[in-house]
Amino acid sequence: LAKTTQPISMDSYEGQEVNITCSHNNIATNDYITWYQQFPSQGPRFIIQGYKTKVTNEVASLFIPADRKSSTLSLPRVSLSDTAVYYCLVGDSSASKIIFGSGTRLSIRP
Protein backbone atom coordinates (compact mmCIF):
# COMPACT_ATOMS: atom_id res chain seq x y z
CA LEU A 1 0.00 0.00 0.00
CA ALA A 2 1.20 3.49 -0.84
CA LYS A 3 1.74 5.26 2.48
CA THR A 4 1.58 9.04 2.57
CA THR A 5 3.41 11.53 4.77
CA GLN A 6 2.11 15.04 5.37
CA PRO A 7 3.00 17.80 7.83
CA ILE A 8 0.91 17.52 10.98
CA SER A 9 -0.03 21.20 10.98
CA MET A 10 0.46 24.46 9.11
CA ASP A 11 -0.40 28.08 9.85
CA SER A 12 -0.97 30.91 7.40
CA TYR A 13 -2.76 34.23 7.03
CA GLU A 14 -5.74 35.33 5.01
CA GLY A 15 -4.91 36.22 1.43
CA GLN A 16 -1.77 34.08 1.30
CA GLU A 17 -1.15 31.10 -0.95
CA VAL A 18 -0.79 27.86 0.99
CA ASN A 19 1.07 24.83 -0.29
CA ILE A 20 0.70 21.47 1.45
CA THR A 21 3.10 18.76 0.34
CA CYS A 22 2.44 15.05 0.55
CA SER A 23 5.15 12.42 0.21
CA HIS A 24 4.29 9.03 -1.32
CA ASN A 25 7.53 7.30 -2.21
CA ASN A 26 6.05 3.90 -3.11
CA ILE A 27 3.23 5.09 -5.32
CA ALA A 28 2.18 2.48 -7.87
CA THR A 29 1.76 2.95 -11.60
CA ASN A 30 -2.05 2.80 -11.42
CA ASP A 31 -2.36 5.06 -8.38
CA TYR A 32 -3.99 8.49 -8.45
CA ILE A 33 -3.48 11.25 -5.89
CA THR A 34 -6.60 12.64 -4.26
CA TRP A 35 -7.04 15.41 -1.70
CA TYR A 36 -9.93 15.83 0.72
CA GLN A 37 -10.86 18.63 3.11
CA GLN A 38 -12.58 18.06 6.43
CA PHE A 39 -14.19 20.62 8.70
CA PRO A 40 -14.92 19.79 12.36
CA SER A 41 -17.95 17.56 12.86
CA GLN A 42 -18.36 16.99 9.11
CA GLY A 43 -17.42 14.27 6.68
CA PRO A 44 -14.50 14.89 4.30
CA ARG A 45 -15.13 16.72 1.03
CA PHE A 46 -13.32 16.01 -2.24
CA ILE A 47 -11.05 18.83 -3.38
CA ILE A 48 -8.98 17.63 -6.33
CA GLN A 49 -7.46 14.57 -7.97
CA GLY A 50 -4.58 14.04 -10.36
CA TYR A 51 -2.29 11.48 -11.92
CA LYS A 52 0.62 13.54 -13.20
CA THR A 53 1.78 17.10 -13.96
CA LYS A 54 -0.72 19.75 -12.90
CA VAL A 55 -4.44 19.82 -12.29
CA THR A 56 -6.42 22.94 -11.50
CA ASN A 57 -10.04 23.47 -10.54
CA GLU A 58 -12.03 26.34 -9.07
CA VAL A 59 -10.70 25.84 -5.54
CA ALA A 60 -7.16 24.43 -5.77
CA SER A 61 -4.24 23.27 -7.88
CA LEU A 62 -2.40 19.99 -7.61
CA PHE A 63 1.22 19.75 -8.69
CA ILE A 64 2.74 16.33 -9.31
CA PRO A 65 6.41 15.99 -10.37
CA ALA A 66 7.52 13.54 -13.00
CA ASP A 67 8.60 10.87 -10.50
CA ARG A 68 5.20 11.12 -8.75
CA LYS A 69 6.81 10.47 -5.35
CA SER A 70 5.26 13.61 -3.91
CA SER A 71 2.48 16.05 -4.64
CA THR A 72 1.61 19.59 -3.58
CA LEU A 73 -1.87 20.95 -2.97
CA SER A 74 -1.95 24.69 -3.57
CA LEU A 75 -4.72 26.85 -2.13
CA PRO A 76 -4.65 30.36 -3.62
CA ARG A 77 -5.54 33.36 -1.43
CA VAL A 78 -6.83 31.45 1.58
CA SER A 79 -9.53 32.75 3.86
CA LEU A 80 -10.57 31.91 7.41
CA SER A 81 -13.04 29.39 6.01
CA ASP A 82 -10.14 27.31 4.66
CA THR A 83 -9.21 26.33 8.22
CA ALA A 84 -9.63 22.56 8.13
CA VAL A 85 -7.80 19.24 8.00
CA TYR A 86 -6.50 18.25 4.57
CA TYR A 87 -5.91 14.62 3.64
CA CYS A 88 -3.77 13.24 0.85
CA LEU A 89 -4.77 9.81 -0.47
CA VAL A 90 -2.95 7.64 -2.95
CA GLY A 91 -4.61 4.72 -4.70
CA ASP A 92 -6.63 3.43 -7.61
CA SER A 93 -10.26 2.35 -7.78
CA SER A 94 -9.53 -0.55 -5.40
CA ALA A 95 -11.35 0.45 -2.24
CA SER A 96 -9.19 -1.87 -0.19
CA LYS A 97 -6.25 0.51 -0.72
CA ILE A 98 -7.91 3.53 0.82
CA ILE A 99 -5.80 5.07 3.60
CA PHE A 100 -6.62 8.54 4.88
CA GLY A 101 -3.70 9.04 7.24
CA SER A 102 -3.70 11.74 9.90
CA GLY A 103 -3.89 14.70 7.55
CA THR A 104 -2.57 18.27 7.82
CA ARG A 105 -4.35 20.65 10.16
CA LEU A 106 -4.34 24.05 8.43
CA SER A 107 -5.07 27.13 10.53
CA ILE A 108 -5.70 30.47 8.84
CA ARG A 109 -5.37 33.66 10.85
CA PRO A 110 -6.80 37.11 10.10
Partner 1 sequence: NAGVTQTPKFRILKIGQSMTLQCTQDMNHNYMYWYRQDPGMGLKLIYYSVGAGITDKGEVPNGYNVSRSTTEDFPLRLELAAPSQTSVYFCASSYTIDRAPYEQYFGPGTRLTVT
CB 24 within 8 A of CB 88: yes
Candidates 15, 59, 92, 109: give the one binding partner 1 (CB under 8 A): 92
Q: How far is the CB of 101 from partner 1 (least distance, A)?
A: 5
Other CB atoms within 10 Å distance of the CB of residue 49: 14
Candidates 58, 67, 96, 110: give the one binding partner 1 (CB under 8 A): 96
Q: Give the residue among 80, 77, 85, 101 at the shortest CA–CA distance from 23.
A: 101
Site for partner 1 contains 43 (CB under 8 A): yes
3-class state of residue 55 by DSSP: strand
Binding range to partner 1, per CB under 8 A, among 14-22, 33-41, 59-67, 73-81:
33-41
User: Residue 23 burial (CB < 10 Å; 0-12/13-18/19+)?
Assistant: middle
Site for partner 1 contains 89 (CB under 8 A): yes
Return residues touching partner 1 (CB under 8 A). Answer: 30, 32, 34, 36, 41-46, 49, 51, 87, 89, 91-93, 95-96, 98-103
